Amino acid sequence: MERQTFGSLYAFDLLSKFGSIFVSKSSKPPRADLQELIVLCGGRLSPSMRAADLILGGEVTKDSRKTHVREVWLLDCITKCSQLDVDKYSL
């Protein structure tokens, strides 16, 4: 409804509160697809794991202090049109 009202000015702001998001190269669905979804949902991509606030998919390193979540977290957020708790999707 909002998209019809605002047309090209409409922005879907679902992921901005999560900071920068890094998508693992080994993610499934493919990395490029997940990155596109993140941008379309108002998220910011991180060029590296080190600079990211949230890491989507991949292996969790023992010394990592970052939040790692399964790829399905992003898909569920979009499907439910809601900012879901990352703790329930932790790797």
- Residue 14 forms part of a structural domain: no
| Best CA proximity match to 74, nearest among 12, 21, 26, 10 | 21
CA–CA distance from 50 to each of 2, 18, 89 (Å)?
36, 15, 20
With respect to residue 45, please indicate whether it lies within any of the assigned structural domains: yes
Residue 40: give its domain's CATH number.
Answer: 3.40.50.10190
- Per the structure, the complete domain to which residue 80 belongs is given by 20-89
Which amino acid type is present at position 10?
Y
72 in a domain, yes or no? Answer: yes
How many alpha carbons lie under 13 Å from residue 77 in its C-beta half-sphere?
27
How many domains in the chain?
A: 1
Q: Model pTM?
A: 0.84
Domain presence at residue 49: yes
Residue 33 within any structural domain of the chain: yes
Does residue 77 belong to any structural domain of this protein? yes
- Could you read off the pLDDT of 16-71 as tens digits, one per residue? 999 999 999 999 999 999 999 999 999 999 999 999 999 999 887 765 778 999 99
What letter represents residue 53's amino acid? Answer: D
Phi, psi of 77 (to 5 degrees): -60, -45
